[in-house]
């Protein structure tokens, strides 16, 4: 684990240059949106649960720049949950 303080984009860029495994972000939509906006997110894993809610927090805020994505993996589970993995679309 690495504690990030200060300029997040700069520190993540530095971590990505180092050898090692993938960097995972779990449960921080604010950080995810920031890295996505800075072009530092290589893969976005979304899980769709078979439940309809009448309210909740938005994952993507209004006004976010459009970012085309391409589906790189998907899985459906017996529970009805669907896992979708996206990467930024290549130009």
Residue 78, domain CATH: 3.40.430.10
In a domain, 2, yes or no: no
Indicate the helix (H) or strand (E) that contains 36. Answer: helix 29-37
Q: Yes or no: say if 37 and 57 are a contact pair by the CB < 8 Å rule.
A: no
Reply yes or no on whether the pLDDT at 91 is more than 80.
no
Taken in order 13, 14, 17, 20, is the CA torsion positive or negative? Answer: negative
Q: Indicate the pTM of the whole model.
A: 0.78
Q: What tens digit of pLDDT does each residue of 26-39 get? A: 878 888 888 888 88
Q: How far apart are alpha carbons 87 and 53 in whole angstroms?
A: 27
In a domain, 80, yes or no: yes
Exposure on the CB side of residue 57, measured as CA atoms within 13 A: 5
Q: What tens digit of pLDDT does each residue of 8-63 get? A: 899 999 988 999 888 888 878 888 888 888 889 999 999 999 999 988 888 887 77
How many structural domains are present in the chain?
1
């Amino acid at each position: 684990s690495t504690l990030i303080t200060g300029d997040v984009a700069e520190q993540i860029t530095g971590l990505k240059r180092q050898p090692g495994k993938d960097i995972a972000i779990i449960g921080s939509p604010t950080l995810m949106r920031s890295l996505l906006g800075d072009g530092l997110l290589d893969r976005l894993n979304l899980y769709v649960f078979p439940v309809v809610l009448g309210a909740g927090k938005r994952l993507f805020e209004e006004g976010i720049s459009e970012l085309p994505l391409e589906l790189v993996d998907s899985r459906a589970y017996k529970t009805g949950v669907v896992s979708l993995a996206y990467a930024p679309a290549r130009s």
